[in-house]
Amino acid sequence: MEAFSPLNDIPYYYPCNFPLIHEVLRRQNSYSSLSLLANARMYGLPACSSSGLMKTYFDKLDYKEAVWLMNGKTELGGLEEGIKLAREATARGELLLTTGTSYYLPYCDDYLNPLYIDKLIDPHSRLYLVDHWLAVYGVEAEQVWVYDPVPSRFQGALPLSVFDDYWKGNKCIPELEAAKRREEIHSYCTVSIESEAILTESAYREALLRVLLTQAHEFLTGREVEKGGRTYYFGYAVSIRLLKQLTAGLTTGQPAFSQISGFLFDMRWSRYFFRDLLHDLARLPNEAYTPFTIEFDEIIQDWEQAHKLLVSSGLPHRDGVQINQIADYIGKLARREYHFYERLQAHYQGEAPLLERTGADGNFQSLPSQNDLLRIVLDGCREVTLAYATSAPGELGRNTPLYGRDGYLDSLGLVSLLAVVEQSIEEQLGKRIELTELAASQLSDHPFRTVESLVVYLAGHMEEAG
């Protein structure tokens, strides 16, 4: 059996599949990291649904798969066929990725644990059945060698009979007959993974920047996507939703308070994934990136402090002063995070393209670049400046303040600029976008504060419109 030294120091919040995908890509001679894999699927972007559930909703944003591709799952006929396939794969030096149930893995906390069953059949639980992944890296007559780092950090041999029970999966546990999403799980299943492209060291850096810039773009755009009768919120829109709930819901009693507290607690997970991406980029040679990593670490600490303030305010004894203080703290923190993403995006602007998105028909969307939109916005600024006989503060550029406290345009000037930009986009790019209506629906001046924020705002809404 070939020596196998996989990654085992894995943060607790990573799901079981990413370490296995990482090892597959490494064996394909591609640079990889857990943060790249997770953020390529937007795990670092705050997201929630109108039901209040915080989780990644990569599929709602219509991005093409990037960095790694899942070529599908295959259900085999049984253990004999599966072991034959495992021998062939490991003989080639490959890992065989399998899915099954942690209920029959003796090193897991789930092992024959009645709570595992109870929590999945509880009609009030949000939990549902999912397949657990592990990798096979060796096969002997009576045992298989497996790598299962999350959550058990296990690497070693399993008796063939135990592995068979695992591989049959949750579908073969009679007590789980009524569990949610049972139809989506598998028995004797393998997963095929490959690198989108073999990443050299320089290509790895560009891949990190692509996912970083894409998530910064999505965060600042703050999209709200309507699909399947629900609304999905992304990036800054999640912070806005929290603030709305905080100001409107904290005075309605304990149930609303508990809901808001849980929402605020769950917001941390996306920030952990994005933090890992920043730190992995910072470790590359010649990256003068430390100030961003330090500041984002501080932002995470402040969000965690916000949750502590909310909980320690005392459920039965809250008063208006406490509520206003907490809302003010979170509002300032949300604005700080927004400005962080603005500066991060400006620092790396143009160093890598954004990830590609697809249309409803699955084809790549040919959308105007941000450079096209920047040119249109700057031309519009010059036209409005001449029309109003006013002057911009210095040379017009990405960082020019437009509207708000530091902006040089008043509300009439902003409306005029948006009208000019709307007309230019239609004439030059053949795209129709109702800017004045969009502006009227905004709750803040954030999209219009600077030239850069307006360009990001335009790009995001043009993506939604296709």
Q: What is the pLDDT of residues 56-65, one digit of tens each?
A: 999 999 899 9
CA torsion, points 178, 179, 181, 185, in degrees to nearest 10? -100
Mean pLDDT of 41-68: 91
Output the DSSP codes for 149-210: -TTT-EEEEEEHHHHHHHHH-GGG-GGGTT-TTGGG--SSEEEEEEESS---HHHHHHHHHH
Residue 59: count of CB within 10 angstroms of its CB: 11
> Could you say which of 348, 380, 402 is where a domain stops?
348
Query: Is 111 part of a structural domain of the chain?
Result: yes
Flag whether 174 is in a domain: yes
Among 180, 195, 210, residue at a domain's last position: 195
440 shares a domain with 321? no
Report whether 232 contacts 320 (CB < 8 A).
no
Q: Based on the structure, what is the number of domains in the chain?
A: 3
Q: Taking a C-beta distance cutoff of 8 angstroms, is the pair 4, 144 a contact? A: no
Examine the domain organization and report whether 311 and 444 are in the same domain: no
Instruction: Quickly state the pLDDT bin for 455 (edges 50, 70, 90).
Output: confident
Residue partners of 333: CB distance under 8 A and separation at least 6: 299, 302, 303, 306
Q: What is the pLDDT of residue 364?
A: 41
For the chain, percent of residues with pLDDT exceeding 70: 88
Q: Which two tokens stand for residue 102?
A: 């942690």
Instruction: Give the pLDDT mean for 316-329.
Output: 69
- pLDDT at res. 365: 47
- Residues 119, 128 contacting (CB under 8 angstroms): no
Per-state percent for the chain, helix, strand, coil, to nearest 5: 50, 15, 35
For residue 399, tell me if it sits in a domain. yes
Q: Are residues 455 and 422 in the same domain?
A: yes
The answer to whether position 123 is within a domain reads: yes
- Of 170, 195, 220, the one marking the end of a domain is 195
Q: Determine which of 104-113, 219-228, 366-375, 397-406 has the lowest per-residue pLDDT on average.
A: 366-375
Residues 164 and 207 in one domain: no
In terms of pLDDT, which residue wins out, 150 or 402?
A: 150
- Residue 8: its H or E element: none
Does residue 249 share a domain with residue 334? Answer: yes
Q: Are 68 and 207 in contact (CB under 8 A)?
A: no
Q: Which residue has the higher pLDDT, 351 or 255?
A: 351
Do 186 and 97 fall within a single domain? yes
What's the rounded mean pLDDT across residues 201-213?
95
Which token pair is 173?
A: 């546990």
Average pLDDT over all residues of the chain: 86
Q: Hey, what amino acid is at 199?
A: L
238 and 343 in a common domain: yes
The mean pLDDT of 229-252, rounded to a whole number, is 82
**Domain assignment of residue 357, yes or no:** no
Q: Is the pLDDT of residue 295 over 90?
A: yes
Q: How confident is the model at residue 68 (pLDDT cuts 50, 70, 90)?
A: very high
The CATH number assigned to the domain holding 402 equals: 1.10.1200
Within 8 A by CB and 6+ apart from 397, the residues are 378, 451
**Within a domain: 101:** yes
Q: What is the pLDDT of residues 258-293, one digit of tens each?
A: 778 888 899 999 999 999 999 999 999 877 667 899
Residue 361 has pLDDT above 60, yes or no: no
User: In this structure, is residue 262 part of a structural domain?
Assistant: yes
In a domain, 422, yes or no: yes
Secondary structure (3-state) at 15: coil
Q: Give the mean pLDDT of 171-195.
A: 93
| Size of the chain, expressed as the number of residues it contains | 466
Same domain, yes or no, for 340 and 235? yes
Q: What percent of the chain has pLDDT over 90?
A: 51
211/152 same-domain check: no
143 and 257 assigned to the same domain: no
Higher local confidence (pLDDT), 194 or 246? 194
| 191 and 206 housed in the same domain | no
| Residues 268, 401 share a domain | no
Range of the domain at 185: 17-30+68-195
State the Cα–Cα distance between residues 147 and 250, nearest whole angstrom: 46
